[in-house]
Structure 1
Amino acid sequence: MSRPKGMAERDPRAGFRTERRYCGASVPQGLLKAARKSGQLNLSGRNLSEVPQCVWRINVDIPEEANENLSFSATERWWEQTDLAKLILSNNKLQSLTDDLRLLPALTVLDVHDNQLTSLPSAIRELENLQKLNVSHNKLKVLPEEITNLRNLKGLYLQHNELTCVPEGFEQLFNLEDLDLSNNCLRTIPASFSSLSSLVRLNLSSNQLKSLPAEISGMKRLKHLDCNSNLLETIPPELAGMESLESLYLRRNKLRFLPEFPSCKLLKELHVGENQIEMLGAEHLKHLNSILVLDLRDNKLKSVPDEITLLQSLERLDLSNNDISSLPYSLGKLHLKFLALEGNPLRTIRREIINKGTQEVLKYLRSKIQDDGPSQSDSFIETAMTLPSESRVNVHAIITLKMLDYSDKQTTLIPDEVFDAAKCNIITSINFSKNQLSEIPKRIVELKEMVSDVNLSFNKFSFISSEVCLLKKLTFLDLRNNFLNSLPEEMESLIQLQTINLSFNRFKILPEVLYCIPTLETILISNNQIGYVDPQKMKTMKNLITLDLQNNDLLQIPPELGNCVNLRTLLLDGNPFRVPRAAILMKGTAAILEYLRDRIPT
């Protein structure tokens, strides 16, 4: 058991005389005894106005029971019992912590939320093993610079205090994964925050921020960013380069324009309600390929563009309390689970239809597409051309969005007229999803010098031909919901590919060629029949951040997979293996990898 040098030498029987004096009824002896065995002490909600000395000295003093009986059983020998690692002092009346905090150097968790602390002691710098610090719901006005010494800190919770700034050197907390600074008085965020390279969750809501530093885009692993309830008028364009971002909250700000997100291919939730946004254009939607939730309530929108159909993954759309008078009938093509329209001056949909709920509204809109045919929207006619097959390609999407979109036609081949329409235009995205294609259109190679995104999902491909392998600038490839069981070796030539979606196919092993594409950052291959992954080859994929193996046939997880320390998201639910157990999976990727590493044979 660790203890500060000199303590025991000065008074080897100090605890015999002092422990009862240090501790009153607020800390029962039985609780201290249990804490020495478990390494955990919970003193939450005990009306404490100060921390009893016996708590600070629990690693130092000899326990009182030693004074009464010096013959200990093997399980009760106090000198073999563990140092305190977890201390919970929440929901008390503490106004300060003393420098005696340094007597607990083994602490990994310190929780003092809901007290009356106005400061933290400088001795906190000596808690070098601390991984979680919760000082939320106190009265802190400043943080001590010494807090930047806590290099092992993973979770720091400072919400509901009175902070106006963060100390210099905060970026030294390079292991920090979860940081909550919400409900403070912050006016700025230092650019040095970009060095928090491990950060996954950042909560800056309910402050007084008027801007965000462009450098925030340096947080390459950030998944969740909450900036609700600030004074933001614009969002730095660099934010669009945060490739790992999955949810972004910008409610209750002063935004007049919806940001564009060309690189945020994993963005699933975008909340921009309660702003002053007046326009929603195709350019704002074209990159939201993975969006599930779009919250636009309480803005000043007057219309919704036809290009809303680009959001094929969208499940929840909130348009309530805007100035929208009509909806595009194409909205009915989306597979929405929730659509909110209340508080708009809609004139094209009867109130009784809206009152029946989402599915009735979508059904009505779809029926109008069929009823009105080519005349459903004048603006659409002006930007569309009719093909002999009676299908139409949106020329507006080609010119404005740089997208060749011929999706949801249930066709077995792509007409030549579609590729002809793309001539003399720059095309960066192709969307041929939701058709009946069994072969890659050969003319796709005509766009090989430009295309970076290709969506071929929901078709009938049983193999991938070499045409795709010629798209050298490809960064995003969606092949989900097909009949694939292999990929061609030629895909190794896709030297810029970052994301590939192979979910809902028939793969039995992870395709070998994927190990040979060093730029891959995201592999989504859930709902297949995969029984094995090669952990040694996986370790060579230095850029791989996300690996989704849910709902496959993995009977065991190789412990060596724990060496893939670059992974930030490893999803394994729905496989028939017995270990790791569900309790480990629920703790997240870091816990899974640590569990696996501990089981690597030496």
Structure 2
Amino acid sequence: MSRLKGVAGRDPRAGFRNERRDCAASVPQGLLKAARKSGQLNLSGRNLSEVPQCVWRINVDIPEEANQNLSFSATERWWEQTDLTKLIISNNKLQSLSDDLRLLPALTVLDIHDNQLTSLPSAIRELENLQKLNVSHNKLKILPEEITNLRNLKGLYLQHNELTCIPEGFEQLFNLEDLDLSNNRLTSIPASFSSLSSVVRLNISSNQLKSLPAEISGMKRLKHLDCNSNLLETIPPELASMESLELLYLRRNKLRFLPEFPSCKLLKELHVGENQIEMLGAEHLKHLNSILVLDLRDNKLKSVPDEITLLQSLERLDLSNNDISSLPCSLGKLHLKFLALEGNPLRTIRREIINKGTQEVLKYLRSKIKDDGLSQSDCVTETAMTLPSESRVNIHAIITLKTLDYSDKQTALIPDEVFDAVKSNAITSVNFSKNHLCEIPKRIVEMKEMVSDVNLSFNKLSFISLELCMLQKLTFLDLRNNFLNSLPEEMESLVRLQTINLSFNRFKILPEVLYRIPTLETILISNNQVGSVDPQKMKTMENLITLDLQNNDLLQIPPELGNCVNLRTLLLDGNPFRVPRAAILMKGTAAILEYLRDRIPS
């Protein structure tokens, strides 16, 4: 009854009669009544030039209907009804917001996109529960410092304004996960952004940035970085240490060199089209193990290196509108779904073959390998040596890329000559994928002091031998597409392992040994038969950020999994459980974890 305080002994309608009449003309009483029940009010597209007082005071004043009916059913007890938590006033003609905004302290969502706002009121600091603020498509020139008081903010959308700088203290928004500053007039990004350690998605495209601060690498959970349409000439080398980065957009800048990404093991898409890149070298490709999409269109490339075959996961490659005259026939070994070559002065492939599409081009390149062998003019041959077994080892890759690559040979045995070819060279990566291996070669143990990446995917392994467990420096292990149903306890000795890919095997439970590898950051175990996970043991894995359990046999998701608050990516699609429902899954990891936590028995 707190809302009745101060109204006894007078007509509660006296002070607000005219105001309410004006309000009723722009906001139907039925909408306000429904909003008191649901806590949500949508006034989008109502041609409003100002927000009516009855909206600001919706949780303060006695509703109009209360003065006409003094007997209330259970559903009409307005004094028991919900405070407004979601207000949408987008697509109107608002030029300013009143300080009466402070009368809605329970707001978690405020959406005012597509108006004509030039500023935000300082009273916005009092919306301490706000989690999502959308002020995109307005005319903001500055942000009030008070916005830094919104410590619970998770999504901030400021795209398509006229911002020229970021206010001091912005780094205090430490819960921010999604930040969109695109299409403004920013000339710099503060180094303090490094403190925004929860940000998963950052869009700073279509600004006037000439550089990025090296400190941006401090955004440890950043997965999606969009820097399209700026004036960038270089990328700070620190960007290469962002281990969570999955999507990087650098289109329409002034880059002359492709950056190197030694630590970006999860990088899946790299878009550097419409720049001034003149050279693509092996050093640029050697760390892109997980890349699915590589966009190099509209640059000044003259050639493609033979080491393009290192990109075994690549699905889309756009080379259109460059200066490429020939392609290495080794390109045919890739399993591309899309290859764009238009706008290049290609002389070694007939136009009619290119016009038939990607698969015909790849087929043609593979045929040239078979037909011409090592004499094919547009195949790089000086980096290969012929072994007695008629196999080829890429010596250039061993010396320059520190990679022992013997993949896609369809062999059941790795010849000794392959290991002998390493000699005294320090190897960091081994790729034996796409063969018919039934066991891990014993001689791999010879590299235990140096190898950090091992790819044994697409083989016929049904068990893991102890030799693999002796690779003390191993950080990345790819075992997908094999016949595995268990892992040896000895894998506990892999004290540096960060990423393991077990997808497309035969696991029925999450292997127990994984819970005892505290360095693990990424577990990919989709497309197996996993029926359960242990949330208590999972919670002890403090570094685990990504867990992919898609397409397994999970009949239920334990609510305690919601306590694994370090998870930034939890993928559960394709399992037979009923809850959480698809609508929750679509909202993303944070929503899933919150949903699970709410269902933990007290």
Q: Structure 1 107/312 Cα, relative in aligned 2: closer, same or farther at 3 Å? A: same
- Counterpart secondary structure, 2:21: helix
| Residues in 2 aligned to 1:379 and 1:510: alpha-carbon distance in whole angstroms | 44
Q: Structure 1 563/8 Cα, relative in aligned 2: closer, same or farther at 3 Å? A: farther
| Residues in 1 aligned to 2:527 and 2:36: alpha-carbon distance in whole angstroms | 47
Q: Structure 1 100/423 Cα, relative in aligned 2: closer, same or farther at 3 Å? A: same
Partner of 1:88: 88
Percent sequence identity over aligned pairs: 92
| Residues in 2 aligned to 1:546 and 1:8: alpha-carbon distance in whole angstroms | 58
| Residues in 2 aligned to 1:49 and 1:499: alpha-carbon distance in whole angstroms | 54
Q: Structure 1 22/101 Cα, relative in aligned 2: closer, same or farther at 3 Å? A: farther
- Counterpart secondary structure, 1:87: strand
| Residues in 1 aligned to 2:401 and 2:8: alpha-carbon distance in whole angstroms | 73
Deviations 1:60-95 (A, max 9, x none): 010011111111111101101111111111111100
Q: Are the aligned partners of 2:327 and 2:378 in contact in 1 as well (CA < 8 Å)?
A: no
Deviation at 1:378, TM superposition (A): 7.1
Unaligned runs of 5+ in 2: none
Q: Structure 1 3/324 Cα, relative in aligned 2: closer, same or farther at 3 Å? A: farther
| Residues in 2 aligned to 1:573 and 1:8: alpha-carbon distance in whole angstroms | 57
Q: Are the aligned partners of 1:4 and 1:103 in contact in 2 as well (CA < 8 Å)?
A: no
Q: Are the aligned partners of 2:4 and 2:62 in contact in 1 as well (CA < 8 Å)?
A: no
Q: Structure 1 70/361 Cα, relative in aligned 2: closer, same or farther at 3 Å? A: same
Q: Structure 1 124/397 Cα, relative in aligned 2: closer, same or farther at 3 Å? A: same
| Residues in 2 aligned to 1:494 and 1:325: alpha-carbon distance in whole angstroms | 46
Partner of 2:406: 406
| Residues in 2 aligned to 1:15 and 1:488: alpha-carbon distance in whole angstroms | 77
- Counterpart secondary structure, 1:7: coil
Q: Are the aligned partners of 1:15 and 1:61 in contact in 2 as well (CA < 8 Å)?
A: no
Q: Structure 1 157/167 Cα, relative in aligned 2: closer, same or farther at 3 Å? A: same
Q: Are the aligned partners of 2:3 and 2:62 in contact in 1 as well (CA < 8 Å)?
A: no
- Does residue 53 (structure 1) correspond to residue 53 (structure 2)? The answer is yes
| Residues in 1 aligned to 2:282 and 2:170: alpha-carbon distance in whole angstroms | 39
- Counterpart secondary structure, 2:9: helix
Q: Are the aligned partners of 1:269 and 1:294 in contact in 2 as well (CA < 8 Å)?
A: yes
| Residues in 1 aligned to 2:389 and 2:130: alpha-carbon distance in whole angstroms | 66
| Residues in 1 aligned to 2:366 and 2:104: alpha-carbon distance in whole angstroms | 66
Q: Are the aligned partners of 2:181 and 2:204 in contact in 1 as well (CA < 8 Å)?
A: yes
Q: Structure 1 254/11 Cα, relative in aligned 2: closer, same or farther at 3 Å? A: farther
Comparing 8-17 with 77-86, which one deviates more in the overlay? 8-17
Partner of 1:597: 597
Q: Are the aligned partners of 2:285 and 2:307 in contact in 1 as well (CA < 8 Å)?
A: yes
Q: Are the aligned partners of 1:16 and 1:67 in contact in 2 as well (CA < 8 Å)?
A: no
Q: Structure 1 61/357 Cα, relative in aligned 2: closer, same or farther at 3 Å? A: same
| Residues in 1 aligned to 2:4 and 2:224: alpha-carbon distance in whole angstroms | 41
Q: Are the aligned partners of 1:113 and 1:138 in contact in 2 as well (CA < 8 Å)?
A: yes
- Counterpart secondary structure, 2:8: helix
- Counterpart secondary structure, 1:72: coil
- Counterpart secondary structure, 1:523: strand
Deviation at 1:28, TM superposition (A): 0.8
| Residues in 2 aligned to 1:2 and 1:399: alpha-carbon distance in whole angstroms | 77
Q: Are the aligned partners of 2:329 and 2:379 in contact in 1 as well (CA < 8 Å)?
A: no
Partner of 2:454: 454
Deviation at 1:4, TM superposition (A): 12
| Residues in 2 aligned to 1:480 and 1:2: alpha-carbon distance in whole angstroms | 62
| Residues in 2 aligned to 1:580 and 1:524: alpha-carbon distance in whole angstroms | 20
| Residues in 2 aligned to 1:374 and 1:348: alpha-carbon distance in whole angstroms | 16
Deviation at 1:540, TM superposition (A): 0.3
Deviations 1:227-276 (A, max 9, x none): 00000000001101111111000000000000011111111110000000
- Counterpart secondary structure, 2:133: strand
Deviation at 1:15, TM superposition (A): 7.2
Deviation at 1:575, TM superposition (A): 0.8
- Counterpart secondary structure, 1:477: strand
Q: Are the aligned partners of 1:163 and 1:184 in contact in 2 as well (CA < 8 Å)?
A: yes
Partner of 1:270: 270
Q: Structure 1 10/366 Cα, relative in aligned 2: closer, same or farther at 3 Å? A: farther
Partner of 2:340: 340
Deviation at 1:381, TM superposition (A): 2.5
Q: Structure 1 135/8 Cα, relative in aligned 2: closer, same or farther at 3 Å? A: farther
Q: Structure 1 394/55 Cα, relative in aligned 2: closer, same or farther at 3 Å? A: same
Q: Are the aligned partners of 2:272 and 2:296 in contact in 1 as well (CA < 8 Å)?
A: yes
Comparing 381-390 with 191-200, which one deviates more in the overlay? 381-390
| Residues in 2 aligned to 1:509 and 1:207: alpha-carbon distance in whole angstroms | 48
Unaligned runs of 5+ in 1: none
Deviations 1:340-359 (A, max 9, x none): 10000000000111111111
Deviation at 1:10, TM superposition (A): 11
Deviations 1:472-519 (A, max 9, x none): 000000000001111111110100000000001111110000000000
- Does residue 240 (structure 1) correspond to residue 240 (structure 2)? The answer is yes
Deviations 1:520-579 (A, max 9, x none): 000000011111111100000000000000111111111111110100000111111111
Q: Structure 1 277/76 Cα, relative in aligned 2: closer, same or farther at 3 Å? A: same
Comparing 283-292 with 20-29, which one deviates more in the overlay? 20-29
Q: Are the aligned partners of 1:240 and 1:263 in contact in 2 as well (CA < 8 Å)?
A: yes
Alignment of 1:198-597 (within 5 A): 198-377=198-377, 380-597=380-597
Q: Are the aligned partners of 1:16 and 1:66 in contact in 2 as well (CA < 8 Å)?
A: no
Q: Structure 1 336/379 Cα, relative in aligned 2: closer, same or farther at 3 Å? A: closer
| Residues in 1 aligned to 2:113 and 2:2: alpha-carbon distance in whole angstroms | 27
| Residues in 2 aligned to 1:8 and 1:167: alpha-carbon distance in whole angstroms | 46
Deviation at 1:439, TM superposition (A): 1.2
| Residues in 2 aligned to 1:450 and 1:414: alpha-carbon distance in whole angstroms | 19
Comparing 1-10 with 393-402, which one deviates more in the overlay? 1-10
Deviation at 1:376, TM superposition (A): 2.3
Q: Are the aligned partners of 2:326 and 2:378 in contact in 1 as well (CA < 8 Å)?
A: no
Deviation at 1:380, TM superposition (A): 3.0
| Residues in 2 aligned to 1:316 and 1:407: alpha-carbon distance in whole angstroms | 20
| Residues in 2 aligned to 1:189 and 1:312: alpha-carbon distance in whole angstroms | 35
Q: Are the aligned partners of 1:19 and 1:63 in contact in 2 as well (CA < 8 Å)?
A: no
| Residues in 2 aligned to 1:599 and 1:42: alpha-carbon distance in whole angstroms | 29
Comparing 236-245 with 12-21, which one deviates more in the overlay? 12-21
Q: Are the aligned partners of 1:87 and 1:111 in contact in 2 as well (CA < 8 Å)?
A: yes
- Counterpart secondary structure, 2:26: coil
Deviation at 1:20, TM superposition (A): 1.8
- Counterpart secondary structure, 1:256: coil
Q: Structure 1 265/172 Cα, relative in aligned 2: closer, same or farther at 3 Å? A: same
Deviation at 1:18, TM superposition (A): 5.9
Q: Structure 1 16/24 Cα, relative in aligned 2: closer, same or farther at 3 Å? A: closer
Deviation at 1:19, TM superposition (A): 5.2
Q: Are the aligned partners of 2:269 and 2:292 in contact in 1 as well (CA < 8 Å)?
A: yes
Q: Are the aligned partners of 1:154 and 1:175 in contact in 2 as well (CA < 8 Å)?
A: yes
| Residues in 2 aligned to 1:19 and 1:600: alpha-carbon distance in whole angstroms | 47
| Residues in 2 aligned to 1:33 and 1:24: alpha-carbon distance in whole angstroms | 12
- Counterpart secondary structure, 1:96: coil
Q: Are the aligned partners of 1:555 and 1:577 in contact in 2 as well (CA < 8 Å)?
A: yes
Q: Are the aligned partners of 1:140 and 1:163 in contact in 2 as well (CA < 8 Å)?
A: yes
| Residues in 1 aligned to 2:65 and 2:385: alpha-carbon distance in whole angstroms | 89
- Counterpart secondary structure, 2:314: coil
- Counterpart secondary structure, 2:380: helix
Q: Are the aligned partners of 2:96 and 2:118 in contact in 1 as well (CA < 8 Å)?
A: yes
Deviation at 1:26, TM superposition (A): 1.2
Deviations 1:105-154 (A, max 9, x none): 01111111110000000000000000100000000000000000000001
Q: Are the aligned partners of 2:211 and 2:231 in contact in 1 as well (CA < 8 Å)?
A: yes
| Residues in 2 aligned to 1:495 and 1:22: alpha-carbon distance in whole angstroms | 69
| Residues in 1 aligned to 2:14 and 2:361: alpha-carbon distance in whole angstroms | 77
Q: Are the aligned partners of 2:154 and 2:177 in contact in 1 as well (CA < 8 Å)?
A: yes
Deviation at 1:23, TM superposition (A): 0.7
- Counterpart secondary structure, 1:24: helix
The CA RMSD measured in Å over matched residues stands at 1.7
Instruction: Using structure 2 for the length normalisation, give the TM-score.
Output: 0.98
Deviation at 1:214, TM superposition (A): 0.6
Q: Are the aligned partners of 2:328 and 2:378 in contact in 1 as well (CA < 8 Å)?
A: no
Q: Are the aligned partners of 1:2 and 1:83 in contact in 2 as well (CA < 8 Å)?
A: no
Deviation at 1:14, TM superposition (A): 6.5
Deviation at 1:22, TM superposition (A): 5.0
